[in-house]
Structure 1
Amino acid sequence: MAKPAFLAPLIDLVFPPRCPLCGDALAQQGGLCATCWNKLAVPGEPACSACQRPLPDSMVRDGEVLCAPCMASPPRHAGIAAATLYNEASRELVLAFKRGKRIALADLLSRLMVRSLPVLEGEWLVVPVPLHRWRLWERGFNQSALLAARIAQAIGQPLVVDALERTRRTPSLGGLGRRARAEALRGAIAAHGSRAARLKGAKVLLVDDVMTSGATTDACLAALRKAGAAEVRIACFARVLDEALDHAGPDDRSLAA
């Protein structure tokens, strides 16, 4: 969250601003140095309006364009907004945030996510991907919930932090293929009973730190649709989409708060 301006000089004195990736000195807290900033990759254009998969220039025309997989099997969500593509730089930021417990990085990551969002008309419920209670106890925080809270505040929409819950603990998904991930998550995520009424007919912005195969978001989508959500968009900091990296470029947006 934003710190009072009058505290900035004291914070900078006690904790000199440093780039969270390389450690170089910065002019202010909460950013990256120019070199590390240029290492981030953002989804390029033209791309599928539903899944961000890159498209050839020949497919560019007025209006939204869908890729062949999305036309053959329309996604259940209304679009994905990824701040960055998953590469070495975004991976280091995510690991420092999630496993290194540098939760202050939530401010930086969420700012980048907000800037990737389309205009959201009307009221949207901001909902994080849930952690199982034992995983939450082990880690001490839900990284998606930290991001969702900041995004909700930034866009002026209500946060429903407990809209979804993990009904059982799932194994680590690292190293599993798409089908194995989907099987591990089958029935593991559901709408929280006390929030079901609020989800019915609602437009939901589902927030996660990293979108890999889509198995986790698919499980969340299924739970939200079952609860009667009218529309679901997905926001993530990093998206694993290897075929898009060749079409991506460095992010040239300002990091100023």
Structure 2
Amino acid sequence: MEGPSASGRGLKRLRGTVTLSLKTPGEQPAAASSPVGEEEEQQPAAACGATMMRGPVQTGKKAASEGCRAIADMAARLGVAPGVRDRALEMFRRMEEVKGRAHHYYTKGAGRSGDALYAACLYLACRSAGAPRTFKELAAATRDGAAARKDIGRLITLIRTRLGDEAGGEAMDIGVVRAADYMERFGSMLGMGEGEVRAVQEAARRMQDHLDVRHNPDSTAAAIIYMAMERRSPGAGTRKSIRDVSVATGVADNTIKQAYRELYQHAHLLFD
């Protein structure tokens, strides 16, 4: 009786072993993980092209894809060139790789969207390309509007710290913004011809070389353009009011007036 009983217990143990071997942890997840990984790998490629494909596969692929689409849309609305847009996308991808608590707070905190981060990436990319955009323009392209300006400024500092200072600073060589950098775009929006644009660019360079002006570059650019509009001879084009210049450039009327009053006494130096 002891033999069959012992044999039965041995069989039960054997069956238990077989059952456990068929349900080893990790076997099914390994088989199921492959298609999920392949699907997630393809989403960023469609949203960001080659830019996102250089990064490792991450769990935040959906958010990254949404960010890339948002940056592309924001760049289109701001008239940003494709090469500059791609630089912003690369910057965003790198921030996703090194994101930490501060990054999370400014992009995913209560009541916040990622728009400020997207705008900050575009700001730095435009600066690096010598085609700067103002804070007002960038904030207007976000869902929060003017309220996003503070967050954009903070995120610019954060990006430069994470990707610039920690990487030796070379990647964040954004140069210095000058009034001349705005002239071509502002002039185009106000219907200025090529000759007039060259004239205001030269006026901005002369101001930079000979005058100590403490106003922001976009403000002085708007003031110089308004001066050029006033100097138009009959038949050279319709003169624009300060309000017209303000609407086109995004610089407040009073700010243009203040810069204009300071520069007007040097008009002979700037234009003659």
TM-score with structure 2 length normalisation? 0.27
Q: Determine which structure has greater relative contact order: mean sequence separation of CA pairs < 8 Å that are 6+ residues apart, divided by chain length.
A: 1
Q: Name the larger-Rg structure.
A: 2
Relative to the length of structure 1, the TM-score reads 0.28
